[in-house]
Amino acid sequence: MSTPEQDIDQGDELNPFSQMKKRLEKAAKLINVDSGIYKILAEPYQELAVSIPVKMDDGSLRVFTGYRVQHSIARGPAKGGIRYAPEVNLDEVRALSAWMTWKCAVVNVPFGGGKGGIICDPRRMSQGEIERLTRRYTANLLDIIGPERDVPAPDMNTNAQTMAWFMDTYSMHTRATCTAAVTGKPIGLGGSLGRNEATGLGVAITARESLKHQNLPNKGCKVVIQGSGNVGGLAAKFLHEMGHKVIAISDMYGGIHNPDGLEVPAVLKWLKEKGKLEGFPNTESLDNAQLLALDCDVLVPAATENQITSTNAEDIRAKVIVEGANGPTSDEADQILEKNNVFVAPDILANAGGVTVSYFEWVQNRMGYFWEKKDVLNRMERILVDSFNDVVESAKRYNTSPRIGAYCLAVERVAYSHKMRGMYA
Ligand code: NAD
């Protein structure tokens, strides 16, 4: 029988699925997971690759490639977003899917992990083309999705409208309106109040708890944020409201910096109107590499994977990193950050506010009864604060980093489900 170590493909530092496996291996060793169960956890439960023919506006036919990966359904239906981007690839979707399994287990919501993606550039497509792409992709997935099987949500370049089309296509096939088939829907169509801000607010709450844990002040800290979308933009808003000084923020074109602090509401208004941050008054521009190396208390990577690696981890001057994005830091970078005493609140904890409120959305859809926004956000905050404490406690128990502590907690919970369910046939 092979051991966890023997099963690991060391892969390369920029392969997210190899990175996921490295963390899983470390946690599995610490908690002494049965080697058979480890093998189940190291690979996806099910994956589907589909060709998606779409009639384009000019009358031509294009065929896109899409994926849906279900890493685990041990604790409940697979749960996870759908990403539309030119860089989507199967190993990225596998990693994102596994991270969803661990994230749902860290916050203890009854879901497994899944993720989907389509290789496309939505910025070069019309709304009609994106709608036809979404509907055909949904039809391709019909055999494996549904409220009890796999519940998608938005991710990069998908939104509430995409989820409405997805839900409608699913419902046309099942001949009944099934709002619980996806989360992140428009509020008027079964969406949950608070879902839009949940991830960004969760990141801000995790930053607050991390600062407290590190005996740093709860106001006036210097904050740097990479990415200004749903996660980064809203994390900036909430950290600003908490009284911290957001000194720099970026988008895919670069960043803006003012050491005295940015007027975040004005920055977000500018971004909405102009489509990019560049040119915001009284700021100097800097590239994403310079932004990550700024002297600050809190760094929030909230853009994409592989931003902090062995090539730039030594440059990081933040005291605390709160991972808004999935997979922004490599395992190699973790070793350097740990040596330099940087506290890292890992992605599978820090950005779990989104899936927590997605869980509430799914519950509300199945009950047919909707909660007030304050109830949604208060319940999310309680879960995140408890989970933060659980992760810190787990890291202490196993004498490891918060990231591996979070993996230990999650892997223990998923392994428990496998053990208690037993092996079918
Ligand atoms: P988004 O599309 O709304 O925003 C992404 C932001 O990152 C934009 O500002 C974009 O300009 C910037 N960006 C993209 N590529 C970049 C690059 N190479 N360098 C620098 N900046 C870049 O996406 P989002 O929903 O905010 O998601 C951001 C990250 O958070 C992703 O990793 C996503 O998987 C993760 N996440 C999102 C949610 C959610 O609820 N939206 C939940 C959990 C995790």
* Ligand 1 pocket member 361 (CB < 6 A): no
Closest CA to 326 of 145, 107, 80, 72: 80
Show the low-confidence residues of the chain (pLDDT under 70): 1-11
Distance 233 CA to ligand 1 centre (A): 9
The DSSP code for 194 is: T
Distance 227 CA to ligand 1 centre (A): 6
**Residue 83 CA, closest ligand 1 atom number:** 34
Find the farthest-apart pair of alpha carbons in the chain and give their distance in angstroms, rounded: 67
Query: Is this model's pTM higher than 0.85 or not?
Result: yes
Report the C-alpha gap between 243 and 256 in whole angstroms: 20
Closest CA to 320 of 349, 348, 298, 302: 298
Distance 145 CA to ligand 1 centre (A): 25
Report the C-alpha gap between 112 and 104 in whole angstroms: 7
Per-residue model confidence (pLDDT) at position 215 = 98
E-assigned strand segments in 28-146: 46-55, 61-72, 78-85, 113-119
Distance 153 CA to ligand 1 centre (A): 14
Report the C-alpha gap between 114 and 105 in whole angstroms: 13
* Ligand 1 pocket member 307 (CB < 6 A): no
Distance 104 CA to ligand 1 centre (A): 19
Among residues 26, 103, 115, 245, the one annotated as catalytic is 115
* Ligand 1 pocket member 54 (CB < 6 A): no
Distance 2 CA to ligand 1 centre (A): 38
Compute and round to an integer the Cα radius of gyration of the chain: 21
* Six-digit token string for 409: 């907690």
Closest CA to 103 of 356, 332, 395, 324: 356
Chain center to CA of 405:
18
Closest CA to 116 of 79, 161, 149, 168: 79
Q: Judging by beta carbons within 10 Å of its beta carbon (0-12, 13-18, 19+), is residue 266 exposed, middle or buried?
A: exposed
Q: Whose CA is nearest to atom 22 of ligand 1?
A: 252
Chain center to CA of 43:
19
Closest CA to 283 of 303, 267, 304: 267
* Ligand 1 pocket member 358 (CB < 6 A): no
Per-residue model confidence (pLDDT) at position 425 = 83
Please tell me the number of Cα atoms within 13 Å of 353 on its side-chain side.
Answer: 33
* Ligand 1 pocket member 153 (CB < 6 A): no
Per-residue model confidence (pLDDT) at position 11 = 54
* Ligand 1 pocket member 196 (CB < 6 A): no
Q: Whose CA is nearest to atom 35 of ligand 1?
A: 325
**Residue 81 CA, closest ligand 1 atom number:** 34
115 is catalytic: yes
**Residue 352 CA, closest ligand 1 atom number:** 43
Q: Whose CA is nearest to atom 30 of ligand 1?
A: 325
* Ligand 1 pocket member 229 (CB < 6 A): yes
* Ligand 1 pocket member 352 (CB < 6 A): no
* Ligand 1 pocket member 324 (CB < 6 A): yes
* Ligand 1 pocket member 227 (CB < 6 A): yes
Numbers of helices and strands, H then E, in the chain: 15, 12
Distance 349 CA to ligand 1 centre (A): 16
